[in-house]
Amino acid sequence: MDNSAAIATDRLLRGDCIAEMAKLPDACVDMIFADPPYNLQLGGDLFRPEGSRVDAVDNDWDKFDTLGSYDRFTKAWLREARRILKPNGTIWVIGSYHNIFRVGTALQDEGFWILNDIIWRKSNPMPNFKGTRFTNAHETLIWASQGEDARYTFNYKAMKTLNDELQMRSDWVLPICAGPERLKRNGTKAHPTQKPEALLYRVLLACTKPGDVVLDPFFGTGTTGAVAKRLGRRWIGIEREEDYIEVALERIEAALPLDESALTIMQTARQQPKVAFGTLVETGYLDPGTVLTDTKRRWQAVVRADGSLSVGTDTGSIHKLGATLQGAPSCNGWTFWHHEAGGKLQPIDTLRQTYLLANEP
Amino acid sequence: MDNSAAIATDRLLRGDCIAEMAKLPDACVDMIFADPPYNLQLGGDLFRPEGSRVDAVDNDWDKFDTLGSYDRFTKAWLREARRILKPNGTIWVIGSYHNIFRVGTALQDEGFWILNDIIWRKSNPMPNFKGTRFTNAHETLIWASQGEDARYTFNYKAMKTLNDELQMRSDWVLPICAGPERLKRNGTKAHPTQKPEALLYRVLLACTKPGDVVLDPFFGTGTTGAVAKRLGRRWIGIEREEDYIEVALERIEAALPLDESALTIMQTARQQPKVAFGTLVETGYLDPGTVLTDTKRRWQAVVRADGSLSVGTDTGSIHKLGATLQGAPSCNGWTFWHHEAGGKLQPIDTLRQTYLLANEP
DNA sequence: TGAGCACGTGAATCCCTCC
DNA sequence: CGGAGGGATTCACGTGCTC
């Protein structure tokens, strides 16, 4: 079953995504990428430590009365999505902990078969300003087929090449959308939640073929359309906010097919493996209670459970405490502190090397 | 409400977790860590390319007929968990894409308030042997409180220290459980999904205090108990498989508790004794009439006898006045205001530190 | 011209005690 | 329980200006 010849592509449909999808024939698109409202349920204003106000998502389109009404909305658009998706097509949905569990459950309930959950690890997330939780540094994408036996597209080799000849993993490190890529209108961001093109690039490259039809029911400023055009895929966007539509059409008009040099920019920056001192404590390379000392054995510091050191009443990280004790502005704790090993003093940096050897590919 | 004194801890309850939890009083544990069955839906055996069989999860306890029965099971144990958890306690649940969306939805439906979803990024995952999907290189944990207004424990400063002075993020890079840590019975793995101690270490260090009671309803080989014992937390495990119980008890018996000195962790400023600015004036650390200024010397404020400041006709506390002058919603006067000392500007916070050193036990 | 610093900002469920 | 008030709290980048 393939009705993609029956529909017009590379165009934007104005209106509500459920109503617009309802007008399309069964089994007419190869992939659906959806970035639905997250239903963030934010409270009052939030201020950064220096006093500025965080420009939060407070749009009406993100507001739902109850979890139940969000679920009904999710089921309704997923049902239409499932109908217009070809039997061997796949769907991608992105979300955060606010909504992704509802979405994943609805996907399974509607009969989709989850192939992977993918973690977009943000290299530059917004911090947690009040120190109340872990920094929310990722978003989750779900990739699903129509059913267990569907023969979906997965360009395994392309992904492996993109990842320096290692299998592409389920966690992707990518920066958030900022700088020149971030679309503006009258000097302010055109859309509060614009996704980076690199994210769509990887999704489309992995799971579609050239000429495939990609539909995005929550088109926004058209990242999906722009990347589809650049990768030689056909696209259909659905959006109801006129402000976003204008920006999206202009953007896609200007998008150029990718050449080789542009492709390399999209590739993974292979980041330096960083190891925190605390990781050595957590993983048992160094036990809490161990005594560290400097080469001249002037100070004896006890390693504590959280990776801090204590010498008498002075406490701090390996770097801070080293600096404090020496009266220096800074100190490299990795080379300053030593532990007894094999009858002699060894810098703790050697433990870090050991850890890296054992745990990095 | 706190019934933790009414229960015996550091022990294993043999039996079904729902039945065993039902025997415990309301509000008696500070944290619940749960690693429920994953409902893996594996279609037959999985073989490596060279023909050897992958030892996947295929035990009886991991079979659920339908998503519906899994949901009923999840709701049933979550409901008991919620009842025995103290109002300010938190729950952690770990899972993969097979079950975590059901769990997250059930948590929200039962009234839990999600605080973070955490990604355990495996530094050495099992590759995808068939090359049909992305390498499944992570698992997801959900951290939730009893409700939106609960005052849960989060050792922010300890986590920041553990992560080399940067906020701990929602993505945790930790190796899988292997090597000597992986428990064996008759030469094969004692449990198919044994979690690494480092994972539990971070969870317990972040969200409990020494002496807190941690309950694990799917105890398995007792990773939660072993780490709780090491970190000076009390524990309760529930497990029905005699094979696992034997291994778990032996393992926890061998685990060594850390010294109290090693258990001490970095405290946030909020947890430290408070000093009123007026006290510094009363005790002569700062004389009335002293002129304070901000770093850019935009404002000159005079210290008054009652510990308030005045700039022209504006008066108020060090915090209020700083906020008023900057037009900011709030201001930390301790770091905003400076006084001349030794020829240069010093924040009045240093005076507070001096006072604390001289006057605290 | 280049280095360096100040400043702005991003899908955020973001304080706690006392009266 | 609501309001008031003390005072704790941020990381990675891009841009644009200064020296």
CB burial of residue B101 (10 Å; 0-12, 13-18, 19+): buried
pLDDT value at position A4?
81
In three-state secondary structure terms, A188 is strand
- Say whether the CB atom of B275 is under 7 angstroms from strand D: yes
- Through-space separation of residue A179 CA and nucleotide C2 C1' in angstroms: 22
Compute, in degrees rounded to 10, the torsion defined by CA atoms A220, A225, A226, A229. -170
pLDDT surpassing 80 at residue A263? no
Find, in chain B, the residue whose alpha carbon is nearest to that of A156. B131
Within 8 A of B231 by CB-CB distance, chain A residues are 305
Contact at CB, A117 and B127, closer than 8 angstroms? no
Residue B157 lies in a domain: yes
Q: Tell me the residue ranges of DSSP E strands in B297-343.
A: 300-303, 309-311, 314-316, 338-341
Strand C nucleotides in reach of protein CB atoms, 7 A cut-off: 8-17
Enumerate the β-bridge partners of residue B91.
Answer: B32, B144
Work out the percent of chain A whose per-residue pLDDT is above 70: 95
Residue B271 lies in a domain: no
Burial A105-133 (b: 16+ CB within 10 A, else e): bbbbbbebbbbbbbbbbbeebeebeebeb
In this structure, the answer to whether residues B291 and B354 fall within a common structural domain is: yes
- Through-space separation of residue A45 CA and nucleotide C3 C1' in angstroms: 38
Within 8 A of B135 by CB-CB distance, chain A residues are 167-170
In this structure, the answer to whether residues B254 and B223 fall within a common structural domain is: yes
Within 8 A of A284 by CB-CB distance, chain B residues are 181, 197-198
Q: How many structural domains are present in chain B?
A: 2
In this structure, the answer to whether residues B206 and B314 fall within a common structural domain is: no
Asked if A92 and A34 count as a contact pair (C-beta separation under 8 A), the reply is yes
Q: Assign residue B329 a region: left if phi > 0, alpha if psi is -120 to 50, beta otherwise?
A: alpha
In three-state secondary structure terms, A25 is coil
Q: A261 falls in which pLDDT band (50, 70, 90)?
A: very low
- Say whether the CB atom of A186 is under 7 angstroms from strand C: no
State which of A216, A233, A262 marks the end of a domain: A262
Q: A161 falls in which pLDDT band (50, 70, 90)?
A: confident
Q: How far apart are CA B61 and CA B217, in angstroms?
A: 14
Q: Supply the mean pLDDT for chain A.
A: 94
Q: Report which residue is nearest nucleotide D5 when distances run from CA to C1'.
A: B320
Q: How far apart are CA A130 and CA A155, in angstroms?
A: 43
- Between B64 and A153, the more confident residue is A153
In this structure, the answer to whether residues A256 and A345 fall within a common structural domain is: no
- Through-space separation of residue A328 CA and nucleotide D19 C1' in angstroms: 29
In this structure, the answer to whether residues A68 and A178 fall within a common structural domain is: yes
In this structure, the answer to whether residues A301 and A175 fall within a common structural domain is: no
Among the partner residues A45, A131, A307, nearest to B161 by beta-carbon distance? A307
Contact at CB, B167 and A320, closer than 8 angstroms? no
Instruction: Report the nucleotide nearest the CA of residue B317, measured to C1'.
Output: D6
Average pLDDT, integer, range A151-156: 96
Mutate to test the interface with A, among B133, B148, B223 (most CBs of A within 10 A): B133
Within 8 A of A134 by CB-CB distance, chain B residues are 116, 118, 143, 159, 167-170, 206
In this structure, the answer to whether residues A76 and A221 fall within a common structural domain is: yes
Instruction: Report the nucleotide nearest the CA of residue B332, measured to C1'.
Output: D7
CA angle B39, B44, B45 (to 5 degrees): 105
CB burial of residue B154 (10 Å; 0-12, 13-18, 19+): buried
Contact at CB, A306 and B118, closer than 8 angstroms? no
pLDDT of B201-232, one tens digit each?
999 999 999 999 999 999 999 999 999 999 99
Domain of residue A155: give its range.
11-262
State which of A262, A293, A314 marks the end of a domain: A262
Q: How far apart are CA A66 and CA B199, in angstroms?
A: 34
Q: How far apart are CA A96 and CA A85, in angstroms?
A: 24
Q: Report which residue is nearest nucleotide C10 when distances run from CA to C1'.
A: A126
In this structure, the answer to whether residues B216 and B342 fall within a common structural domain is: no
- Through-space separation of residue B276 CA and nucleotide C18 C1' in angstroms: 14
Residue A267 lies in a domain: no
| CATH number of the domain within which B85 lies | 3.40.50.150
In this structure, the answer to whether residues B256 and B290 fall within a common structural domain is: no
Positions in chain B short of pLDDT 50:
42, 44, 47, 49, 51
Q: How far apart are the first and last CA of chain A?
A: 43
In this structure, the answer to whether residues A282 and A247 fall within a common structural domain is: no
pLDDT value at position A268?
54
pLDDT surpassing 50 at residue A335? yes
In this structure, the answer to whether residues A255 and A176 fall within a common structural domain is: yes
- Say whether the CB atom of A129 is under 7 angstroms from strand D: yes
Distance from CA of B340 to the nearest CA of A (A): 22
pLDDT value at position B34?
98
Within 8 A of A306 by CB-CB distance, chain B residues are 155, 157-159, 161-162, 205, 265-266
Q: How many CB atoms lie within 10 A of CB B228?
A: 31
- Structure-block tokens of residue A275: 């190891």
Residue A47 lies in a domain: yes
Q: Which of B51, B170, B278, B173 is nearest to A356 (CA)?
A: B173
Residue A341 one-letter amino acid: A
Residue A5 lies in a domain: no
pLDDT of B107-153, one tens digit each?
999 999 999 999 999 998 999 989 999 999 999 999 999 999 999 99
pLDDT of A63-92, one tens digit each?
999 999 999 999 999 999 999 999 999 999
pLDDT value at position B64?
58
Distance of alpha carbon A168 from the chain centroid: 15
Within 8 A of A104 by CB-CB distance, chain B residues are 97, 100-102, 104-105
Residue A2 lies in a domain: no
Find, in chain B, the residue whose alpha carbon is nearest to that of A41. B148
Q: How far apart are CA A173 and CA A179, in angstroms?
A: 18
Q: How far apart are CA B196 and CA B189, in angstroms?
A: 14
pLDDT surpassing 80 at residue A260? no
In this structure, the answer to whether residues B42 and B147 fall within a common structural domain is: yes
Residue B272 lies in a domain: no
Residue B5 lies in a domain: no
- Say whether the CB atom of B274 is under 7 angstroms from strand D: yes
State which of B262, B288, B317 marks the end of a domain: B262
